[in-house]
Amino acid sequence: MIAILDYGSGNLRSAQRAFEVASANVVVTRDAKTCSEASALIVPGVGAFAACMEQLTQVGGVEIIADRVAKERPIFGICVGMQILFQSSSEKKDTQGVGVLPGKVDELKAPILPHMGWNRVAPAHTSKLFKGVEDQSFYFVHSYAAKSCIPDATNTITNYGEDFLAAVEKDFVVATQFHPEKSGAAGAKLITNWVKTL
Amino acid sequence: MTLAKRIIPCLDVAGGRVVKGVNFKDLKDAGDPVELAKKYGLEGADELTFLDISASVEERETTLEIVRKTAEQVFIPLTVGGGIRSAENVNELLRAGADKISINTAAIARPDLINEISDRFGNQVLVLSVDARRAQTKSGFEVTTHGGRQSAGLDALAWIGDAILRGVGEILLNSMDADGTKSGFDIEMLSAVRKISSVPVIASGGAGKISDFAEALTAGADAVLAASVFHFGELRISDVKNDLAKRGFPIRA
């Protein structure tokens, strides 16, 4: 069973359906026990970093994530759900993240923000996540991103105004700045690739 | 790695059906928003837009149901507009499966609505739809309401600038002069808005022939929205995208 962490508002329905295509049992929940027992936990996120951290804290989500990290069990962060896994973000005000991944999240230096739409990525050849969809486009909608590669991880870079991390695969943690659940057939393939690793 | 220019079909929905710009000979399938959404998704649409043109309280649940069904079957971004008056309306639509929300008249009546939605959900969910036409205002363009029949008493560029500061993440610029003429987009207006907008701009109104799309992108549009040319089958999304690719625009294959 895959659990999607429900810690506020946003479009969780698409995420649930997209992951159901690859895996039979996907639940949307904030129940700590269900999240702990799930074979994998998906951390979604929309809106501002600080607001997300606040909502996450309110439902005990920080502990839920920390529990899985301690047990080294699979986590998939999407969009702001990726960003909050880092140590901090400078969006609006400096805010601490969960700190599973090293580094911080800053505003992209680009003339037009948000970075909104379909962009290509440059996956490392070792990437399991992008196998078969290396040359495809994925749907991004964000103004902030992590810009430093993570040591001892498979880093996938893209560029909008400057280079930033489009995805990272590090041990049991996978995260994408884009929305695989909104990225059509390419996103579906990426999700299937990840589900196969569980 | 270049951000692709987006082609967005727009579906006007009322009473659970696509009601405008559809070939009524094929009412059975062509009028169903979920089926049309699926078809456009397969043809390469980069996003979809639903506009609830009835926008009545009674039809709210019908719209939510269409959004739910679409989000379950079509895995590309979905924008929903029409009749949104509160952050709670936005919340319902996002939970049903919408990714972005467009607002228009309600924001003109009460601009603070922009701040309320943006503060809660972020500016990336919020599209400001602007029905603009040429007029004797400071910029030469004014905002209209009631499908272009009434002046809102606002300069279009001033309104867009204000809305961006308040927190909209995208501008859907509808030319009321070009709308329905199929004689091409209002390139001057598009260029003027592009110059002052720090957020993406979607061109709308006037699409007729395939080369109109390239003109809008050259004028600085980040995306192009069209309804009738796609619904009537005059142009196919794939043909538009092929044409743009040939002209060297970045598109999603």
B6–A158 CB contact, under 8 Å: no
- At B76-129, the pLDDT tens digits run 999 999 999 999 999 999 999 999 999 999 999 999 999 999 988 999 999 999
| pLDDT recorded at residue B94 | 92
Q: Is residue B251 part of a domain?
A: no
Domains and CATH numbers, chain A: 2-197 (3.40.50.880)
Higher pLDDT, B253 or A41: A41
Strands of the sheet with A144-146, listed across from one edge: A95-96, A88-89, A104-107, A144-146
Give the mean pLDDT of chain B.
91
Of A9, A179, A188, the CB nearest to B91: A9
Who wins on pLDDT, B32 or B31? B32
Q: Considering only alpha carbons, which residue of chain A is nearest residue B93?
A: A11
**Residue B176 structure tokens:** 């009321």
Rounded Cα distance, A174 and A119, in Å: 19
Helix (H) / strand (E) element for B48: namely strand B48-52
Cα–Cα separations (whole angstroms), residue A86 to A148, A170, B37, B234: 11, 13, 36, 48
How many domains does one find in chain B?
A: 1
Q: Does some domain include residue B253? A: no
Task: Give pLDDT, residue B23.
Answer: 37
Compute the average pLDDT of residues B38-63: 87
CATH number at residue B100: 3.20.20.70
Taking the Cβ of residue A118 and every Cβ of chain B, the question of whether any pair is shorter than 8 Å is answered with yes
Percent of chain B exceeding pLDDT 90 equals: 77
The answer to whether B71 and A17 are in contact (CB under 8 A) is yes
Give the DSSP per-residue string, A146-169. Answer: E-SPPTTSEEEEEEESEEEEEEEE
Give the ipTM of the model, two decimals please: 0.94
All residues of chain A having their beta carbon less than 8 Å from the beta carbon of residue B118 are: none
pLDDT reported for residue B31: 78
Q: Does A114 touch chain B (CB under 8 A)?
A: yes
> Does residue B177 sit within a domain?
yes
pLDDT band at B27 (very low <50, low <70, confident <90, very high): very low
pLDDT score recorded for residue B164: 98
What is the domain range of residue B69? Answer: 6-246
Could you say which residues of chain A have pLDDT below 50? none
Interval B202-222 mean pLDDT: 97
Instruction: Using alpha carbons, select from B45, B82, B55, B52 the residue that is nearest to residue B66.
Output: B52
What pLDDT digit, counting tens, does each position of B120-147 carry?
A: 899 999 999 999 999 999 999 999 998 8
The secondary structure of B212-227 as a DSSP string is HHHHHHHTT-SEEEES
Say what angle helices A12-22 and A184-197 make with each other, to 10 degrees: 60
What is the pLDDT, as a whole number, of residue B55? Answer: 65
* C-beta separation of A77 from A173 below 8 A: yes
